[in-house]
Structure 1
Amino acid sequence: MSSGRAPRATTARAPRPEPAPATTQSGGRQRSTKQARAIETALGAADGFRTAHELFTEFRAAGERIGLTTVYRHLTLLADTDRADVVHTADGEAQYRLCGPRDSENPDEHHHHVVCRVCGRSVEVSGPEVEAWAERVATAAGYTDITHTVELFGLCPQHSPATTRSRKRKPRP
């Protein structure tokens, strides 16, 4: 259920403390709500990045009583606690995706995404070469405490031309 607009990457955030449960109340207390669980479940079931409006529309069509503001608020909380990744469409609309499970040996490992420009389907990928390049370039410029975001956009196998798919399947000599 993509809006047809290609997402673009946001600015990376510095590492954050452990993720908070569902919703933060005033005073920093946290609580879990039916709406928050529904948003996380729907986002977790999605095959790619989703906008708040897309999720809201699905909830309303299913008869769920949830406000658009609640959807936005919880998606923002998920992103702020590093439980969801965010990319923006060309016109600035935020799209969200739950982060995959963290590697227990490397819980702070940084990852990137390959995102389909047609349907928004995404795959998490690691890029040690990108990490080394970013550190090298920043250090050469005199910068420290570096963060970055790299997102790759293309066509998923379902939306790639048939000639491209068949060419990729052939083993190289």
Structure 2
Amino acid sequence: MSGAPVKEQRVTKQRTAISAALDTLDDFVSTQELHRLLHEQGTPVSLATTYRILASMADDGELDTLRNSEGEAVYRRCSATSHHHHLLCRVCGKTVEFEAPEVESWAASMAKAHGFTQVQHTVEIYGLCPECSATCVTQAAAPAAP
């Protein structure tokens, strides 16, 4: 048997609280946002511990991670267990998971055409969700205040 040994994580009160909080969220969340939420719920977890546990959970494949427009890591427990992508609203953070076989085919053909092997990719699409689009249109159509 080969490969790296499986790292077993200690189940602490803090890790359990962070995991439970993530289960209640539908969208990506930053470490600081999650830390604030935990404290609002009365769960005393330090910011450093929150950073460490989220990074560990992401390393273990329990969370998806990406960078927001400010370059900050954000985390989400996704419902999809297979490779997938995300649509993300730039205004409210709403996230939609989707699978895209055509993207997978395109990525494989590009890699093959250029001799690349063991290829991985990430596709995240940023835009405005229907609700934020409607709000932007409504605000743009409203007359300016005198």
Length-normalised TM-score, structure 2: 0.83
Aligned equivalent of 1:82? 61
SS in 2 for 1:135: helix
> Which structure 1 residue ranges, 5 or more long, are not aligned?
1-16, 21-27, 103-108, 165-173
Amino acid at match of 1:38: A
> Which structure 2 residue ranges, 5 or more long, are not aligned?
138-146
In 2, Cα distance between the equivalents of 1:85 and 1:101?
A: 10
In 2, Cα distance between the equivalents of 1:144 and 1:29?
A: 30
Sort the Cα spacing of 1:63 and 1:162 in 2 relative to 1 into closer, same or farther, 3 A. closer
SS in 1 for 2:67: strand
1:162 Cα deviation after fit:
6.5
Sort the Cα spacing of 1:143 and 1:101 in 2 relative to 1 into closer, same or farther, 3 A. closer
Sort the Cα spacing of 1:136 and 1:41 in 2 relative to 1 into closer, same or farther, 3 A. same
**Structure ID, larger Rg:** 2
1:29 Cα deviation after fit:
3.9
Amino acid at match of 1:49: F
Please say if 1:160 is aligned against 2:139: no
- The root-mean-square deviation of aligned C-alpha atoms, in Å, is 2.0
The one of 92, 111, 114 equivalent to 2:84 is 111
Q: After the TM superposition, which segments of 4 or more aligned residues of structure 1 sit over 2 Å from their partners? A: none
2:57–2:63 CA contact under 8 A, matched in 1: yes
Query: Which structure has more RCO (C-alpha within 8 Å, separation ≥ 6)?
Result: 1
Amino acid at match of 2:77: L
Please say if 1:136 is aligned against 2:113: no
What's the % identity of the aligned pairs?
A: 44
SS in 2 for 1:161: helix
Sort the Cα spacing of 1:87 and 1:163 in 2 relative to 1 into closer, same or farther, 3 A. closer
SS in 1 for 2:132: coil
Count of residue pairs brought into register by the alignment: 133
Q: How does 1:117-128 map to 2 (within 5 A)?
A: 117-128=90-101
Aligned equivalent of 2:50? 71
Aligned equivalent of 1:30? 9
Amino acid at match of 2:60: T
In 2, Cα distance between the equivalents of 1:126 and 1:151?
A: 11
Aligned equivalent of 1:54? 33
Deviations 1:83-133 (A, max 9, x none): 11111122211000002152xxxxxx3100111111111111000000000
Length-normalised TM-score, structure 1: 0.70
Q: If each structure's helix is expressed as a fraction of its own residues, which one has the higher value?
A: 2
Please say if 1:100 is aligned against 2:73: no
1:82–1:99 CA contact under 8 A, matched in 2: no
In 2, Cα distance between the equivalents of 1:157 and 1:144?
A: 38
Aligned equivalent of 2:23? 44
